[in-house]
Amino acid sequence: MTQHILLGLLALLPGLAVAQPAKPARATTAAYFQQQVNYAIDVALDDKAHQLTGREELTYTNNSPAALSFIWFHLWPNAYRDNTTAFARQELRNGKRRFQFAKAAERGFIDGLDFKVNGQAAKLEFDPKNPDIAKLVLPQRLAPGASATISTPFRVKLPASFSRLGHVGQSYQITQWYPKPAVYDRRGWHPMPYLDQGEFYSEFGSFDVTITLPANYTVGATGELQNPDEIARMDALAAATALKKTAKDFGKDLAFPKSDVVTKTLRYKQDRVHDFAWFADKRFNVLKGAVTLPSGRSVTSWVLFTNKNAERWIKGLQEVNDALTYYSQWVGEYPYTAATAVDGALSAGSGMEYPMVTVTQPDAIVHEVGHNWFYGILGSNERDFPGWTRA
């Protein structure tokens, strides 16, 4: 297993050692600063219409030396809107035509936006070339050291699983899903369209997210779950799954059970992260473990998986544990209280990492959990500097 972990680490290190920036960095003498964005998001899943309805309120703190007259926002669900987006063009260049010929019902978007800044209406100016990027014009300049409260309702039509955000039936991968400020650093603004190949760059902050959905869904998400009843439910599911040892014990049923009429509202909170993702499926088996880090802190480990490849996923729990242990020893201690690996309907490579949760194929668990360090904890701009640290 140590060899497996080491191979996972080596798969990440070449980019750190030899990667060159996609374009020369602009020279700057400005002192380092980092903006902060604290989110409160309330969202509900409609698993018949395959859509989210929600409201977001964020506090944006300007730690830069400049007064800001606008903030660039990423509205990445619009990447799935039509064939004119950067994502659509990239798919075509790469010879992938499935999205090009997708039906309207399979596409996705975000709408219902009504931005307010400190209670005042604010104008949203969409980028003419990228419908998933927009400039929020502030009613008043945001002075250095000042904060603004920005709010908006939103609706997301979830696409079929063409890339990272989407669904396959009633299996949901909810990623790059909410209005999100672009990074502003000493090199300036970094608005960027969603791409299937090409990672992200985001401001760090805190998240307080509530998710309402039918009660028989099981969710893996960024953050610490706050609901005692749901924590007990997850523990019970894990205990039941732990009794199963072979593929015969799990069976081959992959059908979606009927959704409960009753809903539940889950709450997740987390500080010092730059993104929030969640995955929901009514068919998930659950396994739970734990590791003790060199400092003595305990981290809870989870794997959530369907009956497909169940025996392989049972081994995956130990791989999550080993990844947490060895990366903490080799690179730096894992700073969060939990880590989850999810069997999801991903259509972009073998997996994708988000803070504290990764969607992955079972054979890529070590690699994807390792991305909690690179780029998750480091927060590097992998569009401009693949594998580099944030600077």
What's the predicted TM-score (pTM) here? Answer: 0.91
- Upper half-sphere CA count for residue 270 (Cβ side, 13 Å): 24
Closest by CA position to 277, among listed 62, 100, 52: 52
CA distance linking residue 23 with residue 26, whole number of Å:
9
Q: How many CB atoms lie within 10 A of CB 256?
A: 13
pLDDT of residue 384: 81
- The radius of gyration of the chain's CA atoms, rounded to the nearest angstrom, is 21
Report the phi/psi class of residue 194: left, alpha or beta, with left for phi > 0 and alpha for psi in -120 to 50: beta
Judge whether 237 and 286 are in contact, CB under 8 Å.
yes
Cα four-point dihedral sign 281, 361, 384, 162: negative
pLDDT > 90? residue 351: no
Residue 22 clears pLDDT 70, i.e. is over it: no
The pLDDT of residue 343 is above 70: yes
Who's near 267: CB < 8 A, 6+ residues apart? 208, 209, 210, 211, 225, 226, 227
Q: Of 376, 23, 374, 360, whose CA–CA distance to 192 is shortest?
A: 23
Cα distance between residue 79 and residue 59, in whole Å: 25
Q: Does residue 53 carry a pLDDT above 80?
A: yes
Q: pLDDT tens digit string along 173-217?
A: 999 999 999 999 999 999 999 998 777 899 999 999 999 999 999
Q: Is 4 a residue whose pLDDT tops 50?
A: no
pLDDT score at 381: 84
pLDDT at 29 > cutoff 90: no
**In this model, does residue 388 exceed pLDDT 60?**
no
pLDDT over 60 (residue 25): no
pLDDT in tens, 226-251: 999 999 999 999 999 999 989 899 99
At residue 121 the predicted structure's pLDDT band, cuts being 50, 70 and 90, is very high
pLDDT of residue 125: 98
Q: What's the mean per-residue pLDDT of the chain?
A: 90
> For 249-264, what is each residue's pLDDT tens digit?
999 999 999 999 999 9
The pLDDT confidence band at residue 26, using thresholds 50, 70 and 90, is very low
* pLDDT score at 150: 98
Average pLDDT over every residue of 51-70 = 98
Q: What is the mean predicted confidence (pLDDT) over 91-111?
A: 95
The domains found in the chain, sorted by start residue, are: 35-203 (2.60.40), 215-379 (3.30.2010.30)
Instruction: Tell the residue number behind the tokens 């060899």, with chain if given.
Output: 3
